[in-house]
Amino acid sequence: DTGVSQDPRHKITKRGQNVTFRCDPISEHNRLYWYRQTLGQGPEFLTYFQNEAQLEKSRLLSDRFSAERPKGSFSTLEIQRTEQGDSAMYLCASSSPDVQRSIYFGEGSWLTVV
Amino acid sequence: AQSVAQPEDQVNVAEGNPLTVKCTYSVSGNPYLFWYVQYPNRGLQFLLKYITGDNLVKGSYGFEAEFNKSQTSFHLKKPSALVSDSALYFCAVRDGNQGGKLIFGQGTELSVKP
């Protein structure tokens, strides 16, 4: 069990550029979640997948954001035309579908938009 | 809608003293409750959870939490605080009827002084 892996850990980008984050979940987990966390706040739910199906998207996930999990394994979160308000830590988590089981988080990907 | 409240932004405790970090929740279905800890610039680490059964649950690093259904609370406790416990603590609820995503509180910063 290698844990949830996220890449890159830090990204600085200019406003208007596109960025992509990758998440590799724990291998036997078929649920994958994306959260956003800004300084001083709790993590906010963005979206989740069960296998390759995206089952729920938050209203926070504007049309500039797109998440994919094409083969039901790793996932990508792309932000197009970044804005300064997108600066945050993007957290990925995974779990089994049993809601009594725990959800495990990666170390997060910090995004700074300048 | 499900929600979590952590009424204290910060808790200050002297090393060796007991600590309590408060959490109340609101959920329509069965409450599955979790505590996570976050160190600076890191992801979230799972501490403990309540699913069913004994109202007092024990977790990592000597932490425990007490589930109180009538007060809809799930306070985190530790009998003797350590300086190394200083971190940001998040309470979360996972509603089994809502796809299993976690909803987090705003977080409580715990500061343990020598």
pLDDT of residue B10 exceeding 70: yes
DSSP state of A33: E
Instruction: State the pLDDT at residue B2.
Output: 85
- Mean model confidence pLDDT for chain B: 93
Nearest to A107 among B42, B49, B100 (CB): B42
Q: Which of A18-27, B22-31, B42-51, B90-99 has the lowest mean pLDDT?
A: B90-99
| B50 contact residues in A (CB cutoff 8 A) | none
How far does chain B reach from its first CA to its final CA, in angstroms?
A: 41
pLDDT band at B100; cut points 50, 70, 90: confident
Instruction: State the pLDDT at residue B114.
Output: 95
Question: What is the interface size between A and B, counted as CB pairs within 8 Å?
Answer: 63
User: Do B44 and A91 make contact, defined as CB atoms within 8 angstroms?
Assistant: yes
A42-81 in b/e form (b: 16+ CB < 10 A) is: bbbbbbbbbeeebebebeebeeebbbebeeeebbebebee
Helix (H) or strand (E) holding B110: strand B108-113
pLDDT band at B99; cut points 50, 70, 90: low
| B41 contact residues in A (CB cutoff 8 A) | 110
State how far residue B4 is from chain A, nearest Cα, in angstroms: 10
Rounded distance, CA A36 to CA A4, Å? 16
- A16 torsion bin: left (phi>0), alpha (psi -120 to 50), beta (else): left
B101 or B18: whose pLDDT is higher? B18
pLDDT of residue A39 exceeding 80: yes
Instruction: State the pLDDT at residue B97.
Output: 63
Instruction: State the pLDDT at residue A65.
Output: 96
- Mean model confidence pLDDT for chain A: 93
pLDDT of residue A2 exceeding 80: no
Instruction: State the pLDDT at residue A57.
Output: 92
Instruction: State the pLDDT at residue B55.
Output: 92
pLDDT of residue B71 exceeding 80: yes
Nearest residue on chain B to A3, alpha-carbon basis: B45
Mutation for testing the A interface, residue in B9, B101, B106, B108 having most A CBs under 10 Å = B101
Selection from B49, B17, B52 nearest residue A95 by Cα = B49
| B32 contact residues in A (CB cutoff 8 A) | 99-100
User: Do B34 and A103 make contact, defined as CB atoms within 8 angstroms?
Assistant: yes
Instruction: State the pLDDT at residue B29.
Output: 79
Q: Are A79 and A19 in contact (CB under 8 A)?
A: yes
State how far residue A34 is from chain B, nearest Cα, in angstroms: 10
pLDDT band at B107; cut points 50, 70, 90: very high
